[in-house]
Amino acid sequence: MERETGGSATPLAERGVMPLDVEHDASERGLVIRGHVVERWWSLDDRVRARVAGVLDGTSQPGPVSVVDGKLPDAFARDLAGGGRLFRSAFSELTRVVVSVVADCSSVDVVIACRGRHTAPFYSVIAPTLRHVRFEVAHRFALGRDHAWLEHRLHVDVRCIIAQFCGDGGMRRA
């Protein structure tokens, strides 16, 4: 499967494009779509794009979901299946950049690069470390006939995030 990377992150508002569902996520932190991905984003079927945007900004439930990270604690999996509000709340100033959109007649894949600072409890398990972290969240939206929504699968490497909370695994601010 094709994956797009690179390019500069340009907020849609600066490009003169103001989508209704994508500009801000549920916590009022901006969701940026990289300039080279905007055309692919807007080429999605309107119904599919609206539904995907709703999941990404937290205004709608993902529907059927599978967390593909392997074994996760039940609390993590339930939160991620419901949009990940508790997950995101652990990181202040969380920035989310859509870095890839790949679609065909049976699925839409969206990759989001995230950066933030760990300033709140991570699922009441890990106290705030004040460390800066970065990670990717990959979404796969499976579609049926007439763009019917079949499944939403997501992958986030929680072990990688937890490693950044500890010692030298954390990201240092440049």
Region of 28 on the Ramachandran plot (φ > 0 left; ψ -120 to 50 alpha; else beta): left
Note whether residue 1 is domain-resident.
no
Note whether residue 125 is domain-resident.
yes
| Total of domains in the chain | 1
Tens-level pLDDT at each residue, the chain (174 residues): 333 333 344 443 443 333 333 443 322 235 778 777 888 888 888 888 888 887 777 777 666 666 666 677 888 888 887 778 888 889 878 888 888 999 998 999 999 999 999 999 999 889 999 999 999 989 898 888 888 888 888 888 888 888 999 865 445 554
**Number of residues assigned to the chain:** 174
Q: Both ends of the chain: CA-CA distance in Å?
A: 33
Cα-Cα-Cα-Cα dihedral sign, residues 19, 24, 25, 26: negative
Note whether residue 58 is domain-resident.
yes
Q: What share of the chain is helix, strand, coil (3-state, %, to 5)?
A: 30, 35, 35
C-alpha angle 77-81-82 in degrees, rounded to nearest 5 = 120
Note whether residue 9 is domain-resident.
no
Note whether residue 14 is domain-resident.
no
3 state SS for 1-19 = CCCCCCCCECCHHHHCCCC
Note whether residue 156 is domain-resident.
yes
**What residue numbers bound the domain in which 26 lies?**
20-169
Note whether residue 68 is domain-resident.
yes
The CATH number that applies at residue 136 is 3.10.450.50
